Each structure stands twice: as C-alpha cells, then as structure tokens.
C-alpha cells in the first residue's frame, strides 16, 4: 500500500473507484484494477470517500463495488464522473411506490 494513492478499486469487476483524498476536477488519477494500473481524468471534484466511474456506465446498468451490485445507474455515467445519489439508485431500498417528496 502506498500512501500517495488517491483512489481505490476494491474488485476487478467494479466500475467505480473510491477517492482516498479530495480530488480536484481535471486531475489525472492512476488506479489499480486486478493488478493492472489504469489512468483516467477525473472531470468533476470528488470529495474524500466518494465514488467516480472508471468505465462508461449505461442508464439502467448495474454499478459494482466490492465486486457486488450496489445499485443501478439512473442516467448514463461517463468515465471520471462523480457517482452518487444523483445518478445511482438503490434496487433494494426502493419503496416500489411513489417517492416521498420530503422537501416539497
């Protein structure tokens, strides 16, 4: 483990990486996927602990972390984009009914 690493991919099936420090928009980041290093430009600011795409993800496609499904994309996500509640939703945590609009 090197202390200089900026992000971590937990499994070679994953299509997202986790930021291990605050990453500024436009940063070139190198991550290891299954022993192989890949480089990509993170094109949005990613706060520590948040995720960004390391592969293009289609709308409706599963998002993988730990090699397991953590939800599905609700819009197309490009490599280097922030992946969070705005473009990823839970499959198991849905009510199956209308969303409760707490803010309205």
Partner 1 sequence: MNFQGYRRPSGSVGVRNHTLILPTVICASETASRIAARVKGTVTFTHQHGCAQIGQDMERTFKTLAGIGCNPNVAATLIIGLGCETIGAEKILKVIEREGKPTEMLNIQDEHGTRRTMKKGVAIAKRMAKAAIKMKREPCAVSELVVGLECGGSDVTSGIAANPALGVASDMIIREGGTTILSETTELIGAEHMIAKRASTQRVGERIYEIVKRMEQKIKAMGVDFVGGQPSPGNIKGGLTTIEEKSLGCIYKAGTAQITEVLEYGEKPSEKGLVIMDTPGHDVESITGMIAGGAQLITFTTGQGTPVGSAIAPVVKITGNPRTYRTMRENIDVNAGTIIEGKETIEQVGRRIFNEIIRVASGKQTKAESLGYREFAINRIGPTL
Q: Which is nearer to partner 1, 40 or 51 (CB)?
A: 51
**Residue 27 — φ and ψ, nearest 5°?**
-75, 135
- Residues 50-89 as x/- pattern, contact with partner 1 by CB under 8 A: xx-------------xx-xxxx-----------xxx--xx
Helix (H) or strand (E) holding 7: strand 7-8
- Residues 3-42 as x/- pattern, contact with partner 1 by CB under 8 A: xxx--x-x-------xxx----------------------
Helix (H) or strand (E) holding 26: none
| Total residues binding partner 1 (CB under 8 A) | 37
Name the CA dihedral angle for 42, 11, 92, 100, rounded to a multiple of 10 degrees.
-20
Residue 89: which residues within 8 A CB-CB, separation 6 or more? 71, 72, 74
Binding site for partner 1 (CB under 8 A): 1-5, 8, 10, 18-20, 47-51, 65-66, 68-71, 83-85, 88-97, 99-100, 102
């Amino acid at each position: 483990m090197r202390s200089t690493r900026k992000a971590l991919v937990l499994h070679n099936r994953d299509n997202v990486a986790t930021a291990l420090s605050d990453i500024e928009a436009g940063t070139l980041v190198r991550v290891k996927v299954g022993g192989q290093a890949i480089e990509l430009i993170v094109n949005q600011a990613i706060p520590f602990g948040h995720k960004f795409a390391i592969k293009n993800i289609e709308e409706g496609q599963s998002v993988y972390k730990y090699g397991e499904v953590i939800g599905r994309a609700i819009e197309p996500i490009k490599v280097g984009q922030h992946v969070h509640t705005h473009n990823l939703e839970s499959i198991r945590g849905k009510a199956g009914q209308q969303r409760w609009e707490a803010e309205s």
